[in-house]
């Protein structure tokens, strides 16, 4: 069958869905990705799929720009009729699904996160909710990556109960991210791996690093991930450079293969304000690293406090600082146990093979049960 996979960046599809793409192609399906062109577009082509560029304004809520995206999807689906479409990330879920409904094309949607506009208390939230309700009504299945997001959509009547299904994110390749025992070193290395966005709690991480550095404790802090992101909460490059000059944190920029970063870390930190289901925390768990993260949806679904990591309060640099210092005081044996428990949880819950098989089965079922014409 002909399958389209849509997301707001080619980067997302390559980094989070490439093994799903490989599996679909191995099963004889034709796969086309629909996303803005970036340096990962060619990597998607090398996997064996076709790529189609589309304009998406990931930074704002300008209705004219979103209409442009919607019309582009309409034009595409009027000329090429895939058997089924899988949409990931907010704007493709809304505008691709709306466009597909005009042509009775079956869709499967994944809510990878609610986004800033949805979580704000403004008229924009009402508009976004209305768009979700309209776009998802014909969707065969709507996957949620954490139970909180699923509850919000059900309580707001944005989806029907028989549509909503919980899935463990995009999963993690447990072979690629192999377990590495925690090294017994005198200095704890805390690493935050993320796009450079304020919403990831990077400001709080910097404040914690600054406080702990002033106490001359045996700890180092690293930031890893791309800057200059097309997002309204992006941290300016000059701010990141100032942090590096201050000497309290090492900024390593974009790293294509983060396995060595994870292996060298003592603890992975993500003080995010909210996630769908954090991919980096799943990867850290697979490698066997204790985690410090916030008690919010998409983070607390991965960490059980005291078992495979520690939870702290969101938007609270003092609590994050105290949590990091508490971790530093733990016996090495306990830190190692947390890392071992993290790997066990990954094997039990976040195996990418299981997640991909779920998607493949659902896509094939959707093809066998097309939308009726009524």
Shared-domain flag, residues 146 and 6: yes
Question: pTM for this structure?
Answer: 0.87
Q: What percent of the chain has pLDDT over 70?
A: 96
CA distance readout (Å), 279 to 72, 112, 357, 360 = 30, 11, 18, 20
CA distance readout (Å), 291 to 10, 117, 130, 189 = 28, 28, 37, 12
Please give the Cα distance from 143 to 176 (Å, whole number): 25
Q: C-alpha angle 76/78/82, rounded to 5°? A: 75
Structural domain count of the chain: 2
CATH of the domain at 152: 3.40.50.2000
Please give the Cα distance from 177 to 108 (Å, whole number): 28
Segment (H or E) for 106: strand 106-111
pLDDT at 278 over 60: yes
Q: What is the pLDDT of residues 65-75, one digit of tens each?
A: 999 999 999 99
Shared-domain flag, residues 356 and 323: no
- Is the CB of residue 194 less than 8 Å from the CB of residue 270? yes
Rounded to the nearest integer, the mean pLDDT of the chain is 93
Closest CA to 170 of 272, 17, 300: 17
Decide: helix, strand or coil at residue 71.
Answer: helix
Shared-domain flag, residues 279 and 245: yes
- Is the CB of residue 206 less than 8 Å from the CB of residue 313? no
Q: Average pLDDT in the 300-325 region? A: 97
Count Cβ atoms below 10 Å from residue 340 Cβ, excluding itself. 16
- Is the CB of residue 195 less than 8 Å from the CB of residue 280? no
Please give the Cα distance from 288 to 199 (Å, whole number): 25
Closest CA to 21 of 362, 276, 356, 352: 356
Q: Is residue 178 part of a domain?
A: no
Q: What is the pLDDT of residues 154-173, one digit of tens each?
A: 999 999 999 999 999 899 99
Can you give the three-state secondary structure of 38-61, one letter per residue?
A: CCCHHHHHHCCCEEECCCCCCCCC
Please give the Cα distance from 334 to 351 (Å, whole number): 25
CA distance readout (Å), 325 to 15, 178, 270, 278 = 33, 28, 15, 23
Shared-domain flag, residues 363 and 339: no
What range defines the domain where residue 343 resides? 188-349
Shared-domain flag, residues 251 and 300: yes
Residue 182 is classified by DSSP as P
Identify the residue with better confidence: 373 or 150.
150
HSE-up (13 A, CA, CB side) for residue 173: 10
pLDDT score of 68? 95
Q: Give 58's pLDDT tier (boundaries 50, 70, 90).
A: confident
Q: Give 372's pLDDT tier (boundaries 50, 70, 90).
A: very low
Shared-domain flag, residues 334 and 358: no
One-character DSSP codes across 231-262: STTBPPHHHHHHHHHHTS-EE----S--HHHH
Shared-domain flag, residues 152 and 90: yes
Q: Give 374's pLDDT tier (boundaries 50, 70, 90).
A: very low
Token output for 228? 């200059």
Please give the Cα distance from 244 to 158 (Å, whole number): 44
Closest CA to 182 of 286, 261, 264, 260: 264
Q: Is residue 86 part of a domain?
A: yes
Shared-domain flag, residues 85 and 97: yes
Which of 55-73 are b and which e, b meaning 16 or more Cβ less than 10 Å from the residue's Cβ?
A: ebbeeebeeeebeebbebb
Number of H helices, E strands in the chain: 15, 13
pLDDT at 313 over 50: yes
Q: Is residue 101 part of a domain?
A: yes
Q: Is residue 183 part of a domain?
A: no
Q: Is residue 324 part of a domain?
A: yes
Among 49-58, 183-192, 244-253, 281-290, top mean pLDDT goes to 281-290
Shared-domain flag, residues 82 and 224: no
Q: Is residue 264 part of a domain?
A: yes
Strands 84-88 and 106-111: parallel
Shared-domain flag, residues 87 and 227: no
pLDDT score of 373? 39
Shared-domain flag, residues 195 and 344: yes
Shared-domain flag, residues 335 and 251: yes
Token output for 48? 């064996």
């Amino acid at each position: 069958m002909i399958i389209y996979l849509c997301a707001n960046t080619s980067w997302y599809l390559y980094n989070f869905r490439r093994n799903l793409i490989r599996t679909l192609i191995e099963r004889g399906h034709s796969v086309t990705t629909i996303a803005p062109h970036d340096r990962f577009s060619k990597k998607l082509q090398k996997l064996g799929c076709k790529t189609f560029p589309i304009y998406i304004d990931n930074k704002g809520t300008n209705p004219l720009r979103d209409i442009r995206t919607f019309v582009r999807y309409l034009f595409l689906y009027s000329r090429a009729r895939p058997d089924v479409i899988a949409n990931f990330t907010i704007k493709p879920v809304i505008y691709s699904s709306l466009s597909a409904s005009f042509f009775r094309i079956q869709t499967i949607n994944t809510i990878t996160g609610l986004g800033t506009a949805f979580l704000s208390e403004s008229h924009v939230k009402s508009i976004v909710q209305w768009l979700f309700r309209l776009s998802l009504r014909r969707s065969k299945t709507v996957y949620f990556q954490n139970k909180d997001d699923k509850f919000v959509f059900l309580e707001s009547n944005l989806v029907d109960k028989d549509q909503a299904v919980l899935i463990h994110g995009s999963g993690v390749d447990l072979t690629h991210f192999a377990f590495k025992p925690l090294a017994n070193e005198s200095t704890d290395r805390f690493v935050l791996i993320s796009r450079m966005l304020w919403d990831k709690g990077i400001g709080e991480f910097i404040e914690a690093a600054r406080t702990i550095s002033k106490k001359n404790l045996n700890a180092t802090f690293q930031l890893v991930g791309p800057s200059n992101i097309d997002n309204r909460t992006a941290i300016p490059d000059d701010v990141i450079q100032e942090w590096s000059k201050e000497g309290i944190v090492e900024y390593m920029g974009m790293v294509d293969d983060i396995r060595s970063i994870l292996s060298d870390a003592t603890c992975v930190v993500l003080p995010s304000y909210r996630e769908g289901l954090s991919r980096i925390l799943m990867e850290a768990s697979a490698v066997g690293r204790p985690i410090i993260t916030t008690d919010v949806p998409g983070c607390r679904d991965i960490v059980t406090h005291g078992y495979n990591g520690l939870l702290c309060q969101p938007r609270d640099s003092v609590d994050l600082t105290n949590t990091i210092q508490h971790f530093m005081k733990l016996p090495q044996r306990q830190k190692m146990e947390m890392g071992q428990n993290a790997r066990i949880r990954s094997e039990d819950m976040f195996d990418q093979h299981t997640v991909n098989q779920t998607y493949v089965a659902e896509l094939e079922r959707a093809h066998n049960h097309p939308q009726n014409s009524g």
